[in-house]
Amino acid sequence: QESAPIMAATRAMSAASVHASATHGPDAAGDDLDGDTLREECGVFGIFGHPDASAVVALGLHALQHRGQEAAGIVSFDGEVFHSERRPGLVGDSFSDRGTIERLKGQAAIGHVRYSTTGGTILRNVQPLFAELAGGGLAVAHNGNLTNALSIRRELVRDGAITQSTSDTEVILHLAARSRKPRIIERFIDALQRIEGAYALVALTNKKLIGARDPQGIRPLVLGELDGRYILASETCALDIIGARFVRDIENGEIVVISDEGIESIRFAEKRPLRPCIFEYIYFARPDSVVNGKSVYAVRKNIGVELAREAGVDADIVVPVPDSGVPAALGFAQETGVPFEMGIIRGHFAGRTFIQPTQAKRDLG
Catalytic residue list contains 237:
no
- DSSP character string of 70-112: SEEEEEEE-SS-EEEEEEES-HHHHH-SHHHHHHS-SSEEEEE
Angle at 224 between CA 111 and CA 326, to 5 degrees: 80
Catalytic residue among 29, 33, 42, 64: 42
Q: What's the alpha-carbon Rg for the chain, to the nearest Å?
A: 20
| Half-sphere exposure (Cβ direction) of 24: Cα atoms closer than 13 Å | 16
If 0-12 CB within 10 Å is exposed, 13-18 middle and 19+ buried, where does residue 190 land? Answer: middle
Q: How far apart, in whole angstroms, are the C-alpha atoms of residue 200 and residue 253?
A: 10
Q: Is 126 exposed, middle or buried (0-12, 13-18, 19+ CB in 10 A)?
A: buried
φ and ψ of 20, to 5 deg? -60, -40
The DSSP bridge partners found for residue 203 are 140, 210
> What is the SS3 assignment for 143?
strand
Residues annotated as catalytic are 42
